[in-house]
Homo-oligomer: A and B are copies of this chain.
């Protein structure tokens, strides 16, 4: 039972975190696809909100699995810096989703609010991604040290058995992928043309569907 639980714990958050990472990054770079630029923005905003909601649900499922595992093992929760960073990332993500929904999708939200909100939304999104990278790396690191102790005929982390190589490779992929996404988000030429700051100055009309 304990062995099953340990394997289950090792696998579920890994698959869950990878899936949510893919959904989050796909949602983040959605507006940077030139194919979508000529079209009405509203369907893409709904897809962005849907991908992010799915990623948020997956991160809450992952957190529940961690709390269940700790409680079953009588381990305290939320004391390590890994857990602080992870819980901060998830809380900010939930706040960001609610604020984004209210600010950018509710028809009653005024255009002036949307303009002020947008740079903060993009920055907070990048910050949540950075927090997630730090939480993933510290989580993979501590899990591999906990599981691969080199006792009971198992290899220690330092011998780099297959689980260690898999975990380390997942960490390298998450970091590399995250840095590419942060680059895509910060490059102005890759922003949707009607959302670039310099073009905003030339379109003072109320184009609510393009905000």
Alpha-carbon separation in the docked complex, A85 to B187 (Å): 25
Contact status B81-A167, CB under 8 Å: yes
In the A-B complex, the 6 residue pairs with the smallest Cβ-Cβ separation, listed nearest first, are: A138-B138, A81-B171, A76-B158, A134-B137, A138-B141, A81-B168
Q: Are B182 and A127 in contact (CB under 8 A)?
A: yes
A80 within 8 A of B: yes
Is B81 within 8 A of A127, CB to CB? no
Q: How far is the CB of A130 from chain B (nearest CB, A)?
A: 6
Number of interface residues of A (CB under 8 A): 43
| Contact between chains at A158 and B85 (CB < 8 Å) | no
The residues of B that contact A84 with a CB separation of less than 8 Å are 168, 171-172
In the complex, the answer to whether A137 meets B81 with C-beta atoms within 8 Å is yes
- In the assembled complex, how far is the CB of residue A71 from the closest CB belonging to chain B, in whole angstroms? 13
Verify if A175 is at the interface (C-beta below 8 Å from B): yes
